[in-house]
Amino acid sequence: MKIELKEIDRNRWMIPRSGNMRVPGMIFSNTHLIKDLLKDQSLVQVANVACLPGIVKYSLAMPDIHQGYGFPIGGVAAFDAEEGIVSPGGVGYDINCGCRLMTTSLNLDRIKPHIKELVSALFKNIPSGVGTQGRVHLSKKDVTDVSVQGAAWAVKQGFGRIDDLEKTEDHGIFKGADPSILSERAFKRGLDQLGTLGSGNHFLEVQVVDRVYNDKVAGHFNLHEGQVTVFIHSGSRGFGHQICDDFLKEMGREAHTKNLQIPDRQLAYAPLDSDPGRRYLSAMACAANYAWANRQILMHLALETFLSTLSISPRDMGMSLLYDVCHNIAKMEIHNIEGRERSLCVHRKGATRSLPPGHPLLPDVFQKTGQPVLIPGDMGTYSYVLAGAQGAMELSFGSSCHGAGRLLSRSMAVKTAKGRSIYRELEDKGIFVQSRGRETLKEEMPEAYKDVSQVVDVVHEAGLAAKVARLRPLGVIKG
């Protein structure tokens, strides 16, 4: 498919309707980042998503867009509740992969002499890597309970505090979960992976607040320059992966049987009002709840490690959850479309919510500031904290990007890194890294990702979210 791109302004590009597209495509990007999109099929995927039934307004892509399965990663699409569809490819395999940021009372001088020891302790105490088993071993009934209760299950088991739930998206529970529809394979994969980091781009990072852009909002978020923070990126692990796989196969068979005309078989879908559509959303909710419980436990394990390694009290540590935000999800939401409120199923694949001040879904603590929007970069540069802005409600169904976005495939990154010691290069910059997989650091090297500062500038200038603070990595553990 030949893609035509039209520049709307310095941060937005349009793919006009053509062929079977029901709506235009809209890409948030700038002249620097847009060039990279011509190297893969991500723009074709934006156009393909625009062909799906019931899509509303635009097929959207955030500035971290890159090629994914069916939908591009960084893709956002909203479908009418009555006439639209749900597509597992629009959510992704790692259902409710997300980010959790914790603030502390520690400053850089306090931990700088101990950072290498701290990274080693975190790597030892927090299971990471492909198929790794965690310290929390579950029965099938436990998996059922986690699938329904989400982060609250972890808190009940002693992993964190009840007030953590207020600072977790949707209070850490996706309603409508129904574990009875899950496969035995999904249950089996969920038995021993709770409290594990995973592999690939999942990480736990010790950081320092490097720069503050908005003193007032940063103060409300309890962020200040020189402060130590802890950033977690993980999801529903093999449990969510299996749920996605099960429904992709089912909907793929259905599409073949009914001879559905879809531009890409990876975009297999089911109508929202169908039995497969309803079952998928209920199963997806189970995985989302598992992911929230997982990140809640990882936060607690990180706190334990800090306390023991630094020999300090919880009071001196002062670790507190700023926010937990998810990506890779499909949610039923109310949005104003051309002056009329409509119920939509918003798919965010590699994209997060960005709710503005005063939004009814925000907890009281963020009503005046807007939702914290967490955007991790690569392990050699920066991560960012932003605040949700009204522009997101008008332009992107209340959405922002979820990270820097890949520039190189994993295989290309490994090839590019041949003969280099990524570990040593990062240590020379004062960043200490430990990883489980032999190839992980090569796959995740900084050059494999887009310039996160450029990505964040697009989000900020387009009005999707406003910059609050920048975080610099000190130590990283990866799978």
Tens-place pLDDT, residues 271-301: 999 999 999 999 999 999 999 999 999 999 9
- Condensed to tens digits (0 to 9), the pLDDT of residues 140-188 reads 999 999 999 999 999 999 999 999 999 999 999 999 999 999 999 999 9
- The correct CATH number of 98-330+361-478 out of 2.60.40.10, 3.20.20.140, 3.30.365.10, 3.90.1860.10 is 3.90.1860.10
DSSP 84: -
pLDDT, mean over the chain:
96
pLDDT of residue 325: 98
pLDDT of residue 257: 84
Q: How far apart are CA 43 and CA 46, in angstroms?
A: 5
Per-residue confidence band for 211, with pLDDT thresholds at 50, 70 and 90: very high
Active-site residue (options: 241, 300, 347, 402): 402
pLDDT at 438 over 90: no
Q: How far apart are CA 87 and CA 79, in angstroms?
A: 10
Taking each helix axis from N to C terminus, what angle separates 275-310 and 237-257, rounded to the nearest 10 degrees? Answer: 160
Is 402 annotated as catalytic? Answer: yes
Give mean pLDDT, residues 327-353: 97
Check: pTM over 0.85? Answer yes or no: yes
Q: How far apart are CA 376 and CA 372, in angstroms?
A: 13
Q: Show the beta-strand stretches assigned E in 29-179.
A: 55-66, 73-80, 85-86, 98-107
pLDDT at 218 over 90: yes
pLDDT at 129 over 90: no
pLDDT at 53 over 80: yes
Taking each helix axis from N to C terminus, what angle separates 275-310 and 140-149, rounded to the nearest 10 degrees? Answer: 100
Per-residue confidence band for 61, with pLDDT thresholds at 50, 70 and 90: very high
Q: How far apart are CA 131 and CA 122, in angstroms?
A: 18
- Condensed to tens digits (0 to 9), the pLDDT of residues 342-366 reads 999 999 999 999 999 999 999 999 9
CA 11 from chain center: how many Å? 22
pLDDT of residue 39: 85
